């Protein structure tokens, strides 16, 4: 049974889905604010959500995960519930001299590219279309839903409108405010003393809808003008009587966005909600208050998410990431440091053994997921070197097993070896079940690697070993699954229809895999039969130049990718 520490109750709880059939799980992960490239601390949090999702999937649950894109309303001073400062998107737009929609589109695209490289299943998995707004809700696409929720909060007296047309949540109506973060309301009052607006009933109240004539993105709740797409029509359908006339032209606060998008994409109550520990207060505390206030059913739970999971911070070399100290890293700066103007970083990484100074995305993924989310992570370049060695160890075993996979389905594996693997697998699962203890899960996995390396494996042993390794990699996802070596048998070559010589050049210039190699080898065999040695040599040299070694073995030809 999977147990998770629920930040809401602060207890280690057995995970039980809300779905009575016990199969479907709804999961909202707070996503990026797209005003800059996501850094490795952001990705640590997103990868924690990914690891949780994959663990649930390994348990057989059908996970519906939504991860939002915030492209409006996230203010610079976001440690305050009623955040002040400047909209992060507007600030970036001003600094870059772009339109805020352009800023959002640019950094959203960059985020999707990074997320795919880091194999976030919500982006890189089956059916994870980046344009699917139910999986990747974008704040500016859900303004009608936000206004509909705000309207409900006004009608239910959880919110009030000031003379400027701004809407505030009235904290006094929700005594549970503070339960998630453990904050005492008096602290909140003193914390919120900065910039108290005159018309706020209490300094703790926070804005749901902001009015500011200078803001670059604006929506008028009462007129179609300025709305993009079918937004205004949708608003009219959602709020047939119209939004409260006092509400002015403005933009949503960051907190209401997640409440509205979670409700729109997953329903009013959900199983899981994740974020970084800095989201606990104020962001998630406010989400809870808003989502409850907007509910009309008597027995609505106080927290719309049953389980809250928060990941701890990432630090670099023992301190907060800092641009001035050169310890602030975006993910893409590791993928291609020279392309990101970080030549010194590239040199340092080259010296540490990274080819061209580039860190493969699967190595960065491993480094970021291999520390339990319950602990702060102290990132360093040494951690990347260790991650690289670990991934290579797994990969080399995988390649060795893969090479023999499929052979001999009839014999049974060695009973003792099979028992050893079953124990490792049980330890692996027990560790993940224990609040995602990845350290122990990886210890079990590497114990298994040692088991495999310590003995001569039969084909049948290979089969059970590969099963476990592939299953474990469904969770960690760090392996390169394209086969790196294999044997093409003489029978396979003989059974191929001989390709025409004209196919040779296009085959060699494309991506070479096992299927292409088979065709090339069939072509070579035919050329040899016809005593056309020039063509046979062209095939052989072409394959070698494409990065493969060929060896004759009794069954046929063994091929191997050179690294
Ligand atoms: Zn959020």
The total number of residues shown for the chain amounts to: 563
Do 75 and 256 contact (CB within 8 A), yes or no? no
pTM for the whole thing? 0.89
From the CA of 468, how far away is ligand 1's center (Å)? 36
What's the 30 CA to ligand 1 centre distance in angstroms?
4
Strand partners, 209: 167, 252
Cα(260) to ligand 1 centroid in Å equals 10
Q: What is the DSSP string of 156-178?
A: TTSEEE-TTS-EEE-GGG-TTTT
283, two tokens: 């962001």
Q: Half-sphere exposure of 331 toward its Cβ, with a 13 Å CA cutoff?
A: 31
| Distance in Å, CA 259 to ligand 1 centroid | 8
CA of 143 to the centre of ligand 1 (A): 15
| The dihedral sign for the CA sequence 338, 343, 345, 350 | positive
Query: How many other C-beta atoms can be found within 10 angstroms of the C-beta atom of residue 295?
Result: 17
Give the pLDDT of the chain (563 residues) as one tens digit per residue. 999 999 999 999 999 999 999 999 999 999 999 999 999 999 999 999 999 999 999 999 999 999 999 999 898 888 888 888 889 999 999 999 999 999 999 999 999 999 999 999 999 888 888 788 889 999 999 999 999 999 999 999 999 999 999 999 999 999 999 999 988 666 655 555 445 556 899 988 999 999 999 998 999 999 999 999 999 999 999 999 999 999 999 999 999 999 999 999 999 999 999 999 999 999 999 999 999 999 988 889 999 999 999 999 999 999 999 999 999 999 999 999 999 999 999 999 999 999 999 999 999 999 999 999 999 999 999 999 999 999 999 999 998 998 877 656 678 899 999 999 999 999 999 999 999 999 999 999 999 999 999 999 998 999 999 999 999 999 999 999 877 788 888 888 988 888 888 888 888 888 888 888 999 999 999 999 999 999 999 999 999 988 899 988 888 888 888 86
What is the distance in A from the centroid of ligand 1 to the CA of 501? 58
Sequence-separated (6 or more) residues with CB below 8 Å from residue 252: 72, 73, 139, 143, 146, 147, 150, 208, 209, 210, 260
The vertex-383 CA angle with 397 and 326, nearest 5°, equals: 145
- Distant-in-sequence, close-in-space partners of 382: CB < 8 Å, separation ≥ 6: none
Report how far ligand 1's centroid is from the alpha carbon of 255 (Å): 6
Compute, in angstroms, the gap from residue 215 CA to the centroid of ligand 1: 21
Q: How many CA atoms lie within 13 A of 224 on its CB side?
A: 5
Residue with token string 């147990």: 3
Spatial separation of the C-alpha atoms in residues 437 and 410, rounded to whole Å: 37
Q: How far is Cα 46 from Cα 118, in angstroms, rounded to an integer?
A: 10
Rounded to whole angstroms, the Cα distance separating 169 from 176 reads 14
What sign does the CA torsion over 327, 330, 335, 340 have? Answer: negative
CA–CA dist 225, 210 (Å, integer) = 18
**Residue 208 contacts residue 150 (beta carbons within 8 Å):** yes
Tell me the CA–centroid distance for residue 280 and ligand 1, in Å: 10
DSSP string, 335-379: H-TGGGT-HHHHHHHHHTT-GGGPPPHHHHHHHHHSS-TTS-EEE
Ligand 1 centroid–CA 120 distance in Å is 18
CA 70–ligand 1 middle distance (angstroms): 8
Query: How far, in Å, is the centroid of ligand 1 from the Cα of 229?
Result: 24
């Amino acid at each position: 049974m999977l147990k998770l520490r629920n930040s809401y109750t602060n207890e280690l709880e057995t995970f039980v889905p809300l779905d009575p059939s016990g199969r479907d799980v709804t999961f909202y992960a707070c996503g990026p604010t797209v005003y800059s490239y996501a850094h490795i601390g952001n990705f640590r949090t997103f990868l924690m959500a990914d690891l949780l999702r994959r663990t649930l999937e390994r348990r057989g649950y059908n996970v519906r995960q939504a991860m939002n894109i915030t492209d409006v309303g996230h203010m610079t001073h976001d440690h305050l519930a009623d955040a002040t400062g400047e909209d992060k998107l507007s600030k970036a737009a001003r600094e870059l001299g772009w339109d805020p929609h352009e800023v959002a589109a640019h950094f959203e695209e960059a985020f999707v590219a990074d997320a795919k490289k880091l194999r976030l299943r919500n982006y890189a998995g089956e059916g994870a279309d980046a344009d699917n707004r139910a999986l990747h809700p974008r704040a500016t696409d859900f303004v009608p839903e936000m206004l509909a929720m705000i309207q409900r909060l006004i009608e239910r007296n959880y919110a009030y409108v000031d003379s400027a047309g701004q809407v505030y949540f009235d904290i006094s109506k929700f005594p549970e405010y503070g339960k998630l973060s453990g904050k005492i309301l008096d602290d909140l009052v003193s914390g919120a003393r900065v910039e108290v607006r005159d018309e706020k009933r209490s300094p703790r109240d926070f804005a749901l809808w902001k009015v500011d004539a200078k803001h670059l993105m604006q929506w008028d709740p009462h007129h179609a003008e300025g709305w993009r797409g079918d937004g205004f029509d949708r608003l009219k359908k959602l709020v047939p009587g119209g939004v409260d006339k006092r509400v002015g032209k403005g933009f949503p606060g960051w907190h209401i966005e997640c409440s509205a998008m979670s409700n729109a994409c997953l329903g009013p109550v959900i199983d899981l909600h994740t974020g970084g520990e800095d989201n606990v207060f104020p962001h998630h505390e406010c989400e809870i208050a808003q989502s409850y206030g907007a509910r009309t059913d008597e027995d609505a739970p106080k927290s719309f998410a049953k389980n809250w999971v928060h990941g701890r911070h990432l630090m670099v070399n023992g301190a907060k990431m800092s641009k001035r100290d050169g310890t602030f890293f975006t993910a893409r700066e590791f993928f291609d440091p020279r392309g990101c103007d970080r030549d010194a970083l590239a040199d340092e990484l080259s010296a540490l053994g990274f080819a061209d100074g580039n860190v493969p995305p699967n190595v960065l993924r491993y480094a970021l997921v291999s520390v339990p989310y319950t602990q702060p992570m102290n990132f360093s370049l040494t951690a990347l070197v260790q991650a690289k060695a670990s991934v290579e160890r797994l990969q080399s075993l995988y390649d060795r097993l893969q090479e023999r996979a499929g052979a001999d389905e009839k014999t049974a594996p060695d009973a003792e070896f099979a028992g050893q693997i079953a124990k490792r697998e049980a330890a692996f699962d027990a560790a993940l079940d224990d609040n995602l203890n990845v350290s122990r899960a990886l210890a079990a996995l590497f114990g298994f690697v040692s088991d495999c390396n310590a003995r001569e494996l039969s084909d049948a042993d290979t089969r059970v070993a590969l099963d476990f390794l592939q299953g474990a990699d469904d969770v960690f996802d760090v392996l390169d699954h394209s086969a790196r070596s294999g044997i093409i048998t003489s029978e396979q070559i003989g059974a191929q229809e001989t390709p025409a010589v004209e196919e040779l050049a296009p085959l060699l210039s494309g991506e070479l895999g096992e299927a292409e190699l088979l065709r090339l080898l069939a072509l070579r065999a035919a050329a040899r039969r016809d005593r056309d040695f020039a063509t046979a040599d062209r095939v052989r040299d072409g394959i070698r130049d494409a990065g493969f070694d060929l060896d004759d073995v009794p069954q046929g030809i063994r091929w191997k990718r050179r690294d």
